[in-house]
Amino acid sequence: MADAGSPSATEVAGLLLAAGAGRRFGGPKALAVLDGEPFVVRALRVLTDAGCAPVRVVLGASAAEVRALLPDPETAVVAEDWESGMGASLRAGLRALTGTDAEAAVVHLVDLPGVGADVVRRVAAGADESTVARAAYEGVPGHPVVLGRRWWPEIVAGASGDKGARDWLKGREDLRLVECGDLGSGHDVDRREDLPG
């Protein structure tokens, strides 16, 4: 998100959660291919095209196989306890970003092929260390989610199971819903039949 011509611009990191085993899908969704491109590469490109930097990709199931697909394997972070759910991935990813200068993180999921860089840019616009923003599609909250750095410690402390930051986000008066239904669907791919034709 930082503009090269503006050194004071906020640095917004990208955090791609790609650790799941994809049990209902029949294998890790990070390895699924759409239009000749693996989901993990596609989702990573969305974050980088939107200007997110640095970007971290949280791996778990088939970590070595997924890491081999990444243009820069150094972006990978392995959530050792990934099997316990999305909370483990979110904790691992935010911890990996604490050593960076990022003031906010765009949390994106690997199984959202209908979310493009334009969605990420819209949700992350004006982000700073206090931002709490979330994409909405026809009024329904979805992903990506933007989390300001000041909130990372309490999100890490509370993230558990498959909920990620869902409970933390629930009922927050400072949550900004950003309508993106005109830019994408926001639908996740849960089963192979959910893949876009």
- Between CA 193 and CA 179 the distance in angstroms is 27
State if pTM tops 0.85.
Answer: yes
- Cα-based distances in Å from 20 to 39, 42, 91, 190, 194: 12, 16, 14, 11, 17
Copy the structure tokens of residue 108.
């994106």
- Between CA 182 and CA 197 the distance in angstroms is 20
Beta strand 55-59 pairing with 132-137: unpaired
pLDDT digits (tens, 9 = 90+) for 5-49: 333 467 999 999 999 988 888 889 999 998 999 999 999 999 999
% pLDDT > 90, the chain: 71
Name the least confident of 2-6, 85-89, 101-105, 175-179.
Answer: 2-6
pLDDT digits (tens, 9 = 90+) for 105-150: 999 999 999 899 999 999 999 999 999 999 999 999 999 999 999 9
Per-residue pLDDT band for 175 (boundaries 50, 70, 90) equals very high
Residue 196 scores a pLDDT above 70: no
- DSSP one-letter string for 143-186: EEEEEEGGGHHHHHHH-BTTTBTHHHHTT-TT-EEEE-TTT---
Q: Contacts by 64-73 with C-beta closer than 8 Å and gap 24+?
A: 65/28, 65/31, 66/18, 66/28, 66/30, 66/31, 66/40, 69/30, 69/31, 69/38, 69/40, 69/41, 70/40, 70/41, 70/44, 71/41, 71/44
Mean pLDDT of 76-102: 93
**Residue 187, pLDDT score:** 80
**Residue 195, pLDDT score:** 65
- Cα-based distances in Å from 60 to 40, 41, 42, 146: 13, 16, 18, 22
**Residue 51, pLDDT score:** 96
Copy the structure tokens of residue 180.
């993106």
- Strand order across the beta sheet in which 104-109 lies: 76-78, 55-59, 12-17, 104-109, 140-148, 132-137, 176-179
**What values do phi and psi take at 127, rounded to 5?**
-65, 145
